[in-house]
Amino acid sequence: MLIKAVDVIVTRPGRNFVTLKITTEDGLVGWGDATLNGRELAVAAYLSEHVAPMLAGIDAHRIEDTWQLLYRGAYWRRGPVTMAAIAAVDVALWDLKAKVAGLPLYQLLGGASRDRCLVYGHANGRDTEELLDSVRAHLELGYRAIRIQSGVPGLGSIYGLPPADDRLGRYEPTSAGGLPAVETWDSPAYLRHIPGVFETVRNEFGPELPLLHDAHHRLTPIQAARLAKALEPYDLFWLEDVTPAENQEALRLVRAASTTPLAIGEVFNSIVDYQLLIREQLIDYVRSPVPHAGGITGLRRVLDYAAMYQVKSGMHGPVDVSPVGLAASLHLGLAIHNFGIMEYMRHHPLAGEVFRSTHTFDDGGLHPGDEPGLGVDVDEEAAAAFPFQPGYLPVNRLADGTVHDW
């Protein structure tokens, strides 16, 4: 099980993905997801230039030791690029270990704690009619929990709105080439509009459907508190990312104002980022997915800590988490006790030509399948047919031109 080769594959089947391949001297292959949306080549270079030389000849069974070597050994710790690279190595080593054991990865993490992992999909609409149609389309697809995002009168294209031709909300905000798209934002207009959207959706679909919403880091603490309070009558499963993630104390104000459950952390990458939020019980769900938070080893540490405070998982699952990253989150989610929910957006159909995954969607939930390892194979020949193209997430400006959080 000595590591013989470490290769980085950058491919664009519909969107960019960075995939790590670790090959052992006895010819086994493990896969990891190193995709960091909009900054892909930074992680690819970190892996190929700085990490790969350190892995040659290492025993691939030594997962914890390798994690510590890459984390402590870099001297410069944490950050999205470093932790995405560590995550990719960690997941590839878990994939290898499970293949050697002849078991699906979740069996090595303690075995299944549930039949499947509940997921939520993204319903969205430029206006309320379009949104209601999108919720119906997701219910028909089999979703049992739904995030709703709506256009705001007076604003054009904003976070979470669908492409004109896709009622299933395969939301892809990243540009294909060129510079970042510029969107216009207005928090007061958003705050006036959103409670009425939830009232309409609740009236239409009844009290039982779990509903989620993402404010995408745009509000001040007092605005966030007002939104959480205004949405309380509509019984959200969670309200996500109400304030920019750096000012964690802001959530004390939101907590004091409302019992709306809160989720945060898709831009976090280590247990240190969650220390205050979990210890003070300022959140209910941890949003980090496996590939952005130091892998299975890194995220499991966060979730074990969270479990002491009855905080649950709510793993990020946009289309820029590759099928390898999705599978890693699924195996961990199936095994832990404090699983909450997972985000599940369907990948671009072309992604299926590169990534062959055994996961299945049934009764509103995902199962990773029972093949040894992660249950994902990567077709490198197919990957080579989809060359990388740089792209950016949008940026936000207020009406007067001031840059705002996107």
Q: Minimal distance in Å, beta carbon 161 to Mg ion?
A: 15
Residue 339 Cα distances to 25, 166, 315, 316, 329, angstroms: 36, 30, 9, 13, 11
Q: Do 219 and 243 touch, CB atoms closer than 8 A? A: yes
Closest CA to 275 of 286, 263, 261: 286
Taking the least distance from each CB to Mg ion, the nearer of 265 and 368 is 265
Q: Minimal distance in Å, beta carbon 283 to Mg ion?
A: 13
CA distance 329 to 347: 15
Taking the least distance from each CB to Mg ion, the nearer of 97 and 213 is 213
Query: 11 — phi, psi (to 5°)?
Result: -145, 160
Taking the least distance from each CB to Mg ion, the nearer of 109 and 262 is 262
Rg (CA), the chain: 21
Q: Minimal distance in Å, beta carbon 256 to Mg ion?
A: 23
User: Catalytic annotation on 106?
Assistant: no
The catalytic position among 159, 234, 285, 344 is 159
The catalytic position among 216, 217, 316, 367 is 216
Closest CA to 306 of 338, 335, 336: 338
Taking the least distance from each CB to Mg ion, the nearer of 265 and 364 is 265
- Output the CA torsion sign for 361, 367, 371, 372: positive
User: Catalytic annotation on 344?
Assistant: no
Closest CA to 62 of 109, 3, 104: 3
Q: Minimal distance in Å, beta carbon 321 to Mg ion?
A: 12
Contacts of 340 (CB under 8 A, 6+ apart): 284, 285, 312, 313, 314
Taking the least distance from each CB to Mg ion, the nearer of 51 and 263 is 263
- Site residues, Mg ion (CB under 5 A): 214, 240-241, 266
Q: Minimal distance in Å, beta carbon 217 to Mg ion?
A: 8
Question: Which residues form the catalytic set?
Answer: 159, 216
